């Protein structure tokens, strides 16, 4: 139950962060959503930290003020629970992921966790990842990266959250399943959609048109086959 809740909060937070980084909107709402995501899945504390860095570096308007608002929004949700958790459970972060972690994280458990994460991501998000890889292969720094600082900060945040989530869970030796990576799904989908839009809007070489069509067709067949089975 906590993973879908965290994913919904992450999706809302990304929408609010886009308003902060691109239009200079208030950041309290995004902080509240990030705080709720962190309560649902404690690894989302990492996303909250990444969001603070992105707002402080690339926020539109008063970056310091927006970062402070974001921090206050996160604290308004997280601090009451941390206090209650310490009083009742004698620990700050009762971590749902810790129940699936190894007692002593090791290189072997971390490698197994990363292998499981790659397997689940390729099974669930093969098309967005393939489109992103295609955009990286065909794009250049001048054509693929946004020129506006806030937009660039937003996309760096979106692109960095999935791999950092996997690395953080793997470092803890968490035995990952599809629920562990679910909070990264909105970022993966956004990367795929943005990559497809860039590929279509840019001067896409015609010789790659057939490759893109075959990629989409293969994904559709794979998805249909998995649903039928």
pLDDT tens digits, 122-142:
555 666 766 676 666 666 655
Better-predicted residue by pLDDT, 25 or 130: 25
**Least confident range of 58-62, 154-158, 180-184:** 58-62
174 beta partners: 101
Average pLDDT over residues 25-43: 92
Helix (H, G, I), strand (E, B) or coil at 203: coil
Q: Read off the pTM.
A: 0.77
186 Cα distance to chain centroid: 6
- Residue 101: predicted pLDDT: 46
Average pLDDT over residues 83-103: 63
Between CA 94 and CA 206 the distance in angstroms is: 53
Question: Nearest-CA neighbor of 116 among 164, 176, 157, 59?
Answer: 176
- Residue 29: predicted pLDDT: 94
- Residue 54: predicted pLDDT: 92
Better-predicted residue by pLDDT, 113 or 16: 16
Range of the domain at 156: 2-228
Question: Nearest-CA neighbor of 142 among 85, 224, 203, 94?
Answer: 203
* pLDDT band with cut points at 50, 70 and 90 for residue 170: confident
Residue 1 has pLDDT above 60, yes or no: yes
96-113 b/e (C-beta count within 10 Å ≥ 16 → b): bbeebbbeeeeeebbebb
Average pLDDT over residues 11-35: 92
- Residue 102: predicted pLDDT: 46
What's the number of domains the chain is made of?
1
Cβ proximity of 7 and 182 under 8 Å: yes
- Residue 104: predicted pLDDT: 46
Query: What contacts 24+ positions apart, CB below 8 Å, involve 22-25?
Result: 22/60, 22/148, 22/150, 22/151, 22/154, 23/60, 24/59, 24/60, 24/61, 24/62, 24/66
């Amino acid at each position: 139950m906590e993973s879908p809740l965290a994913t919904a909060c992450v999706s809302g937070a990304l929408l609010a962060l886009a308003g902060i980084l691109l239009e200079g909107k208030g950041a309290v709402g995004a902080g509240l959503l990030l705080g709720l995501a962190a309560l649902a899945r404690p690894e989302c504390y990492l996303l909250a930290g990444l969001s603070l860095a992105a707002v402080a570096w690339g926020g539109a308007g008063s970056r310091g003020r927006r970062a402070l608002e974001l921090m206050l929004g996160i604290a308004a949700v997280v601090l009451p629970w941390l206090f209650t958790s310490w009083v009742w459970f004698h620990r700050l972060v009762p971590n749902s992921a810790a129940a699936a972690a190894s007692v002593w994280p090791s290189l072997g458990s971390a490698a197994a966790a990363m292998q499981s994460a790659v397997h689940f991501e390729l099974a669930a998000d093969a098309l967005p990842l393939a489109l992103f890889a295609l955009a990286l292969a065909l794009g250049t720094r001048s054509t693929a990266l946004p020129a506006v600082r806030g937009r660039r900060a937003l996309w760096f945040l979106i692109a960095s959250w999935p791999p950092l989530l996997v690395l953080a869970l793997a470092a803890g030796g968490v035995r990952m399943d599809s629920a562990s990576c679910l909070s990264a799904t909105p970022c993966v989908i956004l990367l795929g959609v943005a990559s497809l839009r860039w590929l279509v809007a840019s001067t896409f070489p015609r010789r790659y048109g057939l490759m893109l069509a075959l990629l989409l067709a293969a994904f559709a067949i794979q998805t249909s086959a998995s649903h039928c089975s």
